[in-house]
Structure 1
Amino acid sequence: MLMETKKLTKQFGGLTAVNDVDFTIEKGKINAIIGPNGAGKSTFFNLLSGTYTPSAGQVFYKGQDITKRPPDKIARLGVARTFQTTHLFEESTVLDNVIVGHRLRTSSNLWDAVFRTRRFKFEEKKCRDKAMEVLEFVELTHVMDEQAGSITQEEKKRVAFALALATDPEVVFLDEPTAGINPGETEGLASLMEKMVQRGITVCLIEHKMKMIMKLADKIMVLNYGEKIAEGTSEEIMNNQAVIEAYLGGGASA
């Protein structure tokens, strides 16, 4: 087990977005979180990555309590995430966008940057090498010199993967990675997630494309109105009556 939540709860005023959720993220596997719109999935991700502080409960990473740590400290531990909307520096090249990702692992300061010290030059090369390595991994070297604003939606999704990978993570949280792309492109990104796991990176994703999730995920948790209603393998989830009523057969919007 890589990460664990215990009785994790988040309230916004009178609304409980996540309620008393226990969940474990299995190391070296594809873990998925599904549920209808408004079920609390993105809020749950925000609690795990430190963007939100829980109202109650705890988050553990490798047995260490990280509940109150800020996002940058959690990222340094090896936790990366992408967002539903990919925010890139549109005017910069794809390569420059990804170089930014590895800055998390460097120690140069403003002084180093202004005077272009030996340390700065060494780290700049390290960031560039890392960016090249992850762009090759996500199969984007052919567009690395293009402006990020001019590439396709599917390529932007791959840049988001590359940005997360540039931080040298142990676990990557992907928030609806295949939203807005066609079935063929979806398959390509599913293969990329499997490739990440083969490289030893744990994946946890939120997704609405049920066919893909059922084929891809080793373990699935289902949220509904902020509560965990089921957890298990694809087969267990597909045959779970509570899930069928709440989501799969309930006409919920995807």
Structure 2
Amino acid sequence: MLKIDGLTKRFGGLAAVNDVSVEFGANQINAIIGPNGAGKTTFFNLVAGAMPPTEGTIVFNGQSIAGKAPDAIARMGIARTFQTTMLFEESTVLDNLIVGHRLRTQSRLWDVIVNSKRLRADEKRCREKAEEVLDFVGLSHVAQRYIADTSQEERKRVAFALALATDPQLVLLDEPAGGINPEETDSLAQMIRKMVDHGVTVCLIEHKMDMIMRLADKIMVLDHGEKIAEGTPEQIKNDPVVIEAYLGSDQDVEA
């Protein structure tokens, strides 16, 4: 689904991502791990179009997306969440999700001015999609609650739902389990698996190694912007280069 070759991003003399090549297959959970400053979020920014690469190619479903605008990439089928949830605090949960499906609608300014039939149909579809994804993440009961009044775990689920409201084929999750407790982490891990079971491919950045080792089908390890390993959780946890660079020589990671 996603094929990346020689991906590089330089900021002056610093290479935040340096000559990374990797392929992520469809209907899998693909994880990216590495120490702080390893280039993980920059990698996501390049794939999602937040910044152009200095060098290299990014091909999604056979089409080059390197350097395309974020909205164009979203319409092609890539959605993205952030380590810090990016939601409208003073709007309801449902209204936040209605916004998510707007990129799939055709209404323009003139439709708004005349309150066209197309506008009304688009609004209906957006509301139906918002209700659908809200039910998917198990938050239908908080549809009318303001985001400012939701818990951290609920915000994580709303962020998942917002990504799903765009009808993506691939979702990039940036530290989805950050700031939540172990029980909530297990619940979100089940949600990620549910997404894949329903045909959405997932690529996530995460520091909670127990979660990654249980969940991921494939793991790529970055260190100082370079790929130092990739493989199954079993291969990664036994890779001496990974152990030295990230896990620590004395760390015991449970599969």
Shorter-chain TM range is: over 0.9
Corresponding position of 1:83: 82
Identify if the C-alpha distance between structure 1 residues 134 and 240 changes in structure 2 by more than 3 Å, giving closer, same or farther.
Answer: same
Q: Deviations over 1:20-70 (max 9, x none)?
A: 000111100000000000000000000111111000001001121111211
Corresponding position of 2:201: 202
**Aligned pairs for 1:22-41 within 5 A:** 22-41=21-40
Identify if the C-alpha distance between structure 1 residues 232 and 74 changes in structure 2 by more than 3 Å, giving closer, same or farther.
Answer: same
Corresponding position of 1:127: 126
Q: Deviations over 1:51-107 (max 9, x none)?
A: 110000010011211112111111101000001110211111000000000001001
Structure 1 residue matching 2:127: 3-state secondary structure: helix
Corresponding position of 1:219: 218
Structure 1 residue matching 2:94: 3-state secondary structure: helix
How far apart are 1:135 and its partner, in Å?
0.1
In the TM superposition, structure 1's runs of 4+ consecutive aligned residues that sit over 3 Å from their partners are none
Long gaps (5+) in structure 1: none
Residue 72 of structure 2 is aligned to residue 109 of structure 1:
no
Aligned residues: 251
Alpha-carbon distance in 1 for matches of 2:249, 2:160: 32
Q: RMSD of the TM alignment (CA)? A: 1.1
Corresponding position of 1:192: 191
- In the superposition, the TM-score normalised over structure 2's length comes to 0.97
Structure 2 residue matching 1:203: 3-state secondary structure: strand
How far apart are 1:179 and its partner, in Å?
0.1
- In the superposition, the TM-score normalised over structure 1's length comes to 0.97
Q: Deviations over 1:217-247 (max 9, x none)?
A: 0000000000000000000000000000000
Corresponding position of 1:162: 161
Structure 2 residue matching 1:83: 3-state secondary structure: coil
